[in-house]
Structure 1
């Protein structure tokens, strides 16, 4: 990783989450197609649009901060996406798959929340106020998505899956 300064570490982590978001834009349509609950499929489609906006925010940070992202692949997101793919491949379409998809999606959300939280802290420490504002906006979206998934799981998907 060779980060010598906090700014180097910030750039590395921003590059990592940029890769993560790009990977997620490929995974979310597959998750939406696999979901049987229409609300869950809609949630995945809505999150895809949100994710595209989050990528645009990172692009804004890069432009306004005059930094260059590193070309890298987020290994953590790669693993989380693979877990989601395994769930789709191994569980029969229906309520149990929906419950598993929510669980997989929440793992992704928690990774993103942790990443954006750290990036917010670094941006604030580095006096990168515009970056801080944009990252905080994204973190709020990630938390809201996680909450929506929790509500969907508790009020519908998990109850349906428990009947199986």
Structure 2
């Protein structure tokens, strides 16, 4: 079995999250279309814009580190996206589906928070300060999105879902 380095781990994790973000750019418009709440639609559209910026930031990390991403598929994100699709199919459009979509989206956010936190730590350990700062910027955005979804779930969606039964 080949010995792997911290650099190998960093490259694999960065390649994996690149795949995850690409998958998310296809899933977020579907979530926006499936939601009935206007604020939730806007949150998904805003997250799509952020996701495109995060992909650009990954490209910057690749450039500053002088590495080339591997072509891999993030199976974790594939599963999370599939779960979101199941929510769309299992619940008719309305507040209950909106609540389910928020739950699915927050699972994605928590996955991304864990991933970017790990990547920032690895970049720091590898002495890649500029890459670390770029990754921390994305981590901050992911945490902010999670907080927005939580707030939306607590205020708007919860009362609508409860009224719907």
Return the alpha-carbon distance in structure 2 between the equivalents of residues 152 and 16 of structure 1: 29
Instruction: After the TM superposition, list the runs of 4 or more consecutive aligned residues in structure 1 that deviate by more than 6 angstroms.
Output: none
2:120 corresponds to 1:136 = no
Return the alpha-carbon distance in structure 2 between the equivalents of residues 70 and 95 of structure 1: 40
Gap change, CA 1:100 and 1:63, over 3 Å in 2:
same
Counterpart for residue 53 of structure 2: 53
Counterpart for residue 88 of structure 1: 88
Q: Please report how far the alpha carbon of residue 3 of structure 1 lies from its aligned counterpart in structure 2 after TM superposition.
A: 6.3
* Count of paired positions: 164
Q: Please report how far the alpha carbon of residue 159 of structure 1 lies from its aligned counterpart in structure 2 after TM superposition.
A: 1.7
Return the alpha-carbon distance in structure 2 between the equivalents of residues 138 and 21 of structure 1: 11
Equivalent position SS for 1:4: coil
Deviations 1:48-95 (A, max 9, x none): 000000000000111111101110000000000000001001101000
Deviations 1:22-49 (A, max 9, x none): 0000000000001100000000000000
User: What are the ranges of 5 or more consecutive residues in structure 1 without an aligned counterpart?
Assistant: none
User: What are the ranges of 5 or more consecutive residues in structure 2 without an aligned counterpart?
Assistant: none
Question: With structure 1 as the length reference, what TM-score do the two structures score?
Answer: 0.98
Counterpart for residue 40 of structure 1: 40
**Contact preservation (8 Å) 1:54, 1:138:** yes
**Contact preservation (8 Å) 1:13, 1:119:** yes
Return the alpha-carbon distance in structure 2 between the equivalents of residues 92 and 3 of structure 1: 50
Return the alpha-carbon distance in structure 2 between the equivalents of residues 3 and 66 of structure 1: 21
Question: With structure 2 as the length reference, what TM-score do the two structures score?
Answer: 0.97
2:122 corresponds to 1:116 = no
Q: Please report how far the alpha carbon of residue 158 of structure 1 lies from its aligned counterpart in structure 2 after TM superposition.
A: 1.5
